[in-house]
Amino acid sequence: MKAKTYRLDRFISQKSRFSLSATRLLIAQKRILVDGQPADSIQQKITHFTHVVLDGECLQANQPVYLLLNKPQGVVSATKDLKHPTVLDLIQHPQKAALHLVGRLDFNTTGLVLLTNDGAWSRKISLPETKLVKVYEVTLAKPLTSDYIAVFNQGIYFAYEGITTQPAQLTILSPYKARLSLTEGKYHQVKRMFGYFQNEVLALHRASVGPITLEGLQPSQSRELSTKELQAIELAFCSS
């Protein structure tokens, strides 16, 4: 999915005192720099992260931010809440006010949360067509049986939406614990899938999204994604 773009002349007219028609002259006089180079056309495409300078004044210098957070229990997956702490309350970053969540976790669900200011990137991760595998660790109230594995692999019908879930891989770790791999994220999907067997989910933890894991990150801690991790998830996008 492509990032939203703007024509250079429209961007200049919105960010400065110059009109649309004045942009041609500004370009001819080499008064506009786009990512460090003189602008070459009024139709040149500007994204949210394009660096633009006019007459030595910086009009835009946004930098993409990609954060990983290990969400603890009792924290709201939101940017603002009047009653409870939010994921943003746990983050110390100069651009945190511009961040949004890439998918959400329930109040009592723990684990991996991604945040970014890059809307195109977050949409790619969230699209069902991307089919990024999300891995959850689940603790149940009742013992698991091999019947679960077959049913999860076939998909479970959700009457409210009138849909059947995509095949999911379930690995039984112990009588009451399992690892579940999904490629979609329906509303309360994990709890509803185990609800098919009338088995209550007592604890739920998201361990990974695609190639990104929580290795070395303690609850409430966050960090920026590494170049290696960003490259790995781009490869996952390309292979989907």
Quick check: 49 and 82 in contact, CB under 8 A? Answer: no
Mean pLDDT of the region 13-30: 95
Mean pLDDT of the region 73-85: 91
pLDDT tens sequence across 37-65 = 999 999 999 998 999 999 999 999 989 99
233 token code pair: 């998830």
User: Tell me, what's the pLDDT at 82?
Assistant: 87
Cα-Cα-Cα-Cα torsion 201, 205, 209, 210, nearest 10 degrees, comes to -80
* pTM as predicted: 0.85
Print the SS3 string covering the chain: CCCCCEEHHHHHHHHCCCCCCCHHHHHHCCCEEECCEECCCCCCEECCCCCEEECCEEEECCCCCEEEEEECCCCECCCCCCCCCEHHHHCCCCCHHHCEEECCCCCCCEEEEEEECCHHHHHHHHCHHHCCCEEEEEEECCCCCHHHHHHHHHCCEECCCCEECCCCEEEEEECCEEEEEECCCCCCHHHHHHHCCCCCEEEEEEEEECCEECCCCCCCCEEECCHHHHHHHHHHHHHC
Model confidence at 27, in pLDDT bands (50, 70, 90)?
very high
User: Tell me, what's the pLDDT at 28?
Assistant: 96
- Hey, CA dihedral for 88, 91, 97, 101, is it positive or negative? negative
Catalytic machinery residues: 106
194 token code pair: 């185990």
User: Tell me, what's the pLDDT at 185?
Assistant: 85
Q: Which amino acid is at 210?
A: G
User: Tell me, what's the pLDDT at 2?
Assistant: 56
**Comma-separated ranges of CATH 3.30.2350.10 domains in the chain:** 66-239
- Hey, CA dihedral for 221, 227, 228, 234, is it positive or negative? positive
Task: Check pLDDT > 60 for residue 4.
Answer: yes
pLDDT tens sequence across 200-239 = 999 999 999 999 999 999 999 999 999 999 999 988 876 6
Model confidence at 8, in pLDDT bands (50, 70, 90)?
very high
Model confidence at 240, in pLDDT bands (50, 70, 90)?
low
Task: Check pLDDT > 50 for residue 1.
Answer: no
Task: Check pLDDT > 70 for residue 3.
Answer: no
pLDDT tens sequence across 110-164 = 999 999 999 989 988 888 778 899 999 999 999 999 999 999 999 999 988 899 9
**Comma-separated ranges of CATH 3.10.290.10 domains in the chain:** 6-60
The Cα–Cα gap between 121 and 111 comes to: 20
Mean pLDDT of the region 8-18: 96
CA distances from 215 to 211, 212, 218 (A): 11, 9, 8
What CATH topology corresponds to 6-60? 3.10.290
CATH architecture label of 66-239: 2-Layer Sandwich (3.30)
Mean pLDDT of the region 17-25: 95
Mean pLDDT of the region 182-189: 90
